[in-house]
Chains A and B, each alone.
Chain A
């Protein structure tokens, strides 16, 4: 049977998962609401319960600064892992794409719980590492595809995909 729990709580017992979930507080965002801005202090980790969140970076597009989509996070996925990783600053801007519900976990509450329950802390940090690693792998592949496109353009070989 597939594990349908949030990716933050995979590979742990149901009791441990419930205990971690109890540390979170529910947060509701309406469509278009900003969850966090780029560069601000990251004190909370989030798990999406329902809805969708856009992660964006600012880019100059024909003289206008626009938020460009970098990633989308959906129900069951974790965002805001900068709360657990120094220097604890968000490296993206998060905006609810539609009405969204999340669980917000304060860093200090998590760290206190992990200190008392190291096995849970180990599992959660492993899950966060998996999220970070997956993003790294995706962007490695995306970067290589863009490099291939740049090379083809510089050689004038036209349309690239």
Chain B
């Protein structure tokens, strides 16, 4: 009987130690109240045209004025290209114009 009680006590002691160890091992695992939502940090748009102020239509510039600026740009660019054809050189090819769309 004594032997049986000793074995039972040791068994209970072992079970208690095992339960404590299990509790210690799982203590940091917390169930979140709500699932964690992945956060996507979007970089600001850097499409090349957005980086240049000339490509933004100013709200006070009427469409007709913008179209005139485009026409002026085309004329200046065509004149620059024709100058290059008349006298081909890298300097003439890359010369700057007074186009309002590129300043």
Interface residues of A (CB under 8 A from B): 61-62, 64, 66, 68-72, 134, 137-142, 144-146, 148-150, 153-154, 156, 158-161
Contact = CB atoms under 8 A, between A and B. Distances in A.
B57 to A, nearest CB: 6
Q: Is the interface of B mostly helix, strand, loop or mixed?
A: helix
Interface string B39-62: 000000000110110100100000
Q: Which 10 residue pairs across A and B have the least CB separation, nearest first? A: A161-B96, A141-B81, A154-B48, A138-B81, A69-B71, A142-B81, A141-B84, A153-B48, A69-B74, A137-B85
B94 interface: yes
Given A64-B63, A150-B48, A161-B97, A142 B75 contact: no
Interface in B1-55: 48-49, 51-52, 54
B11 to A, nearest CB: 75
A146 B80 CA distance: 12
